[in-house]
Chain A
Amino acid sequence: RKEVEQDPGPFNVPEGATVAFNCTYSNSASQSFFWYRQDCRKEPKLLMSVYSSGNEDGRFTAQLNRASQYISLLIRDSKLSDSATYLCVVNPRGGKLIFGQGTELSVKP
């Protein structure tokens, strides 16, 4: 079993749609959690950290369920510019990151 698993993609959605990505992790002692965005041929960039209480940043909402070892990302009112690969990232122990395989999102006009 992979340490971090994500929904397989690609997700093809129309502009304005709501889309949700799911992610599970295997190490129950994991300390911190992130969603990164990676555009084609670019480096990953932090989208948001994920907290147990859930957090929201504009159209983006992240949730963490430690009991189920599950992380989610919800994107509301999708824009064309949201098209990218979304990486679920877990920090199981200090300093290093474990990346999911990524979920590709394509938002169409």
Chain B
Amino acid sequence: SAVISQKPSRDICQRGTSLTIQCQVDSQVTMMFWYRQQPGQSLTLIATANQGSEATYESGFVIDKFPISRPNLTFSTLTVSNMSPEDSSIYLCSVNEPTNYGYTFGSGTRLTVV
């Protein structure tokens, strides 16, 4: 299966600042997905990142707060902007692998905003 390198693995940030999370995949993939997992909760899709076009955001998530880049088929970034303590979560990227019909996740970024 695809190998995803996600970084940073964790960070503690001051409110009002921004953090950019990176995901690098070892193979070309059409779509990459960004999820948020709040403490004690399951995963919620933030947006789908497509190469060559703007990301598609889910209800409740906006580009100004979570800008996404997808410069090529192996890389994507998610920025959490103007952070507040409510943004403290685990953020995960994911890719779909048509060959085995599964979805693989990066190891996650544990963000704490103070």
Contact = CB atoms under 8 A, between A and B. Distances in A.
B102 A34 contact: yes
A95 B44 CA distance: 14
Interface of A: 32, 34, 41-46, 49, 87, 89, 95-102
B101 A100 contact: no
B102 A97 contact: no
Chain A CB within 10 Å — which of B42, B94, B107 has the most? B42
Interface residues of B, number: 20
Contacts of B42: 87, 99-102
Given A95-B33, A96-B33, A44 B41 contact: no
A99 B31 CA distance: 18
Contacts of B108: 42-43
